[in-house]
């Protein structure tokens, strides 16, 4: 599992929330293998997209995957849909609450009778067990909590090796690799790393995971914690400068990152890299970090998908062309697009016999790595009885440069390392 390189994209979200066995129920209301859906039927293929479009952490934080998925389906329908059937997207805003999420799940599954969920991005995925019990495939969701390492029929955008029998990971523990830290040590010679967090439980827990991973890679680690309500980032920045930090990692939200960067600029703290995650891999960097030009140009992002700025790549260029009307672009949009493509590939494989929940789920479980035409590092879903002690893991890396945007650093398929897997509790 790419918990550090990509799954940890949720670090800036986890700090603001707590984390959110089901057996499969009969699908007789939704699936009849003896009477497959006719080819070229006028009846649409219905999918659901749940996002916390309104939530306590902001109105636009969780909408990227939804917008990317909708862009894919709009283009797909313009080209004839799936086997002559258009895709009807039913969206639901859960408001960022567990109650709202469960209500969205019930509406989409029981009332709208969607074939699958796509690009789920929920602050509190309280309805995950309901989705699993109904046998509805959830494809390409963002792993903000532990749901995608807990339940069958749920397939997060980064894959999973966990048994997924109703308990997170292995006996409640998930595992993350140290590939990000290995990359900066090997490629840039970094030796001292700082980890900045809030005095809030989820933020502090993630910071401990990062600290443990850095130490496993031989870094000298400087830990900094600020008050969530009244953070003194200037004091943190001054200490980072005094400690000679090469790298700065964080368990902060975007606003906190911007304030930290401004403080670093103000005190003259210069680092090799201010490392952020896929959640903050967006075109809004100039606005978000407008008061911190030095820190802004030291921003690096790591993840498990091809840089949305790589328009020389055919698959990326198609994404950018389809989303050119959006006011901003982001890596989460690209991953939502990839999730929709994943569902489409599954549905097209089922078209000759019937696009049903069961058939789509079988495609997802076929055991073959998936890349969405090269947009994703190979995504795998296995059910290992024991967690791996080490794993060869690759990562996508990009660096922000004013005037150029996010500039890719090496090929994500060759930025690969054999790294230890470190246990943590979600």
Helix (H, G, I), strand (E, B) or coil at 381: strand
The tokens describing 259, both together, are 């304030």
Tens-place pLDDT, residues 72-123: 999 999 999 999 999 999 999 999 999 999 999 999 999 999 999 999 999 9
pLDDT in tens, the chain (426 residues): 555 444 444 444 444 333 333 333 333 333 333 334 444 446 999 999 999 999 888 778 899 999 999 999 999 999 999 999 999 999 999 999 999 999 999 999 999 999 999 999 999 999 999 999 999 999 999 999 999 999 999 999 999 999 999 999 999 999 999 999 999 999 999 999 999 999 988 789 889 999 999 999 999 999 999 999 999 999 999 999 999 999 999 988 888 999 999 999 999 999 999 998 898 899 999 999 999 999 999 999 999 999 999 999 999 999 999 999 999 999 999 999 999 999 999 999 999 999 999 999 999 999 999 999 999 999 999 999 999 999 999 999 999 999 999 999 999 999 999 999 999 988
Sheet of 138-141: strands edge to edge?
Answer: 87-93, 45-51, 116-118, 138-141, 154-156
In eight-state DSSP terms, residue 109 is I
Rounded CA-CA distance 197/249 in Å is 9
- Give the model's pLDDT for residue 367: 92
Q: Distance between the two ends of the chain, CA-based, in angstroms?
A: 14
Q: What is the DSSP string of 285-331?
A: HHHHTTT-HHHHTTEEEEESB--TT-TTSHHHHHHHHHTTTSS--BH
Closest of 128, 55, 45 to residue 89, by C-alpha: 45
Helix (H, G, I), strand (E, B) or coil at 3: coil
Helix (H, G, I), strand (E, B) or coil at 355: coil
- 398 DSSP β-pair partners: 301, 408
Give me the sign of the Cα torsion angle 20, 22, 24, 25: negative
- Give the model's pLDDT for residue 426: 81
If you search the block for the tokens 């493509």, which residue do you land on? Answer: 341
Ranges of beta strands (E only) in 72-161 are: 87-93, 116-118, 138-141, 154-156
The alpha carbon of 325 is separated from its chain's Cα centroid by a whole number of angstroms, namely 23
- Measured CA to CA in angstroms, residue 1 lies from 4, 150, 174 at distances of 8, 13, 9
pTM equals 0.90
* Cβ atoms of residues 346 and 83 within 8 Å: no
Q: What share of the chain is helix, strand, coil (3-state, %, to 5)?
A: 35, 20, 45
Phi–psi pair at 286, nearest 5 degrees: -55, -35
């Amino acid at each position: 599992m790419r918990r550090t390189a990509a799954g940890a994209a949720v670090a800036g979200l986890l700090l603001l929330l707590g984390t959110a066995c089901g057996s499969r129920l009969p699908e007789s209301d939704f699936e009849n293998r003896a009477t497959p859906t006719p080819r070229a039927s006028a009846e649409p293929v219905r999918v659901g997209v749940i996002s916390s479009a309104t939530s306590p952490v902001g109105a636009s934080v969780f909408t990227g995957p939804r917008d990317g998925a909708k862009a894919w389906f709009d283009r797909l329908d313009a080209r004839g849909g799936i086997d002559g059937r258009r895709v009807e997207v039913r969206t639901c805003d859960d408001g960022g609450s567990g109650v709202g999420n469960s209500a969205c799940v019930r509406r989409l599954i029981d009332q709208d009778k969607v074939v699958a969920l796509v690009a789920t991005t929920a602050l509190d995925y309280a309805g995950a067990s309901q989705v699993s019990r109904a046998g509805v495939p959830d494809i390409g969701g963002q792993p903000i909590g532990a749901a995608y390492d807990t339940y069958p029929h749920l397939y997060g955008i980064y894959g999973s090796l966990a048994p997924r029998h109703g308990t997170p990971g292995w006996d409640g523990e998930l595992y993350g690799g140290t590939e990000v830290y290995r990359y900066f040590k090997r490629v840039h010679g970094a030796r001292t790393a700082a980890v900045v967090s809030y005095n809030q439980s989820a933020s502090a827990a993630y910071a401990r995971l990062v600290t443990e991973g850095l130490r496993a890679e031989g870094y000298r680690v400087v830990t900094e914690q600020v008050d969530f309500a009244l953070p003194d980032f200037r004091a943190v920045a001054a200490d980072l400068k005094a400690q000679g930090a090469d790298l700065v990692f964080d368990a902060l939200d975007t606003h906190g990152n911007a304030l930290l960067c401004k403080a670093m600029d103000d005190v003259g703290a210069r680092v090799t890299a201010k490392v952020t995650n896929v959640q903050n891999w967006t075109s809004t960097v100039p606005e978000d970090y407008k008061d911190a030009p030095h820190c802004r140009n030291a921003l690096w992002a790591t993840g498990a998908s091809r840089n949305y700025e790589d328009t020389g790549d055919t698959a990326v260029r198609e994404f950018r062309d389809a989303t050119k009307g959006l006011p901003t672009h982001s890596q989460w949009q690209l991953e939502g697009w990839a999730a929709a493509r994943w569902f489409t590939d599954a549905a097209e494989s089922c078209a000759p016999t019937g696009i049903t929940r069961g058939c789509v789920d079988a495609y997802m479980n076929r055991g073959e790595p998936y890349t969405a035409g090269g947009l994703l590092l190979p995504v795998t879903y296995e059910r290992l009885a024991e967690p791996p002690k080490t794993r060869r893991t690759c990562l996508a890396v990009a660096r922000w440069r004013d005037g150029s945007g996010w500039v890719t650093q090496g090929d994500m398929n060759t930025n690969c390392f054999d790294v230890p897997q470190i246990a943590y509790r979600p």
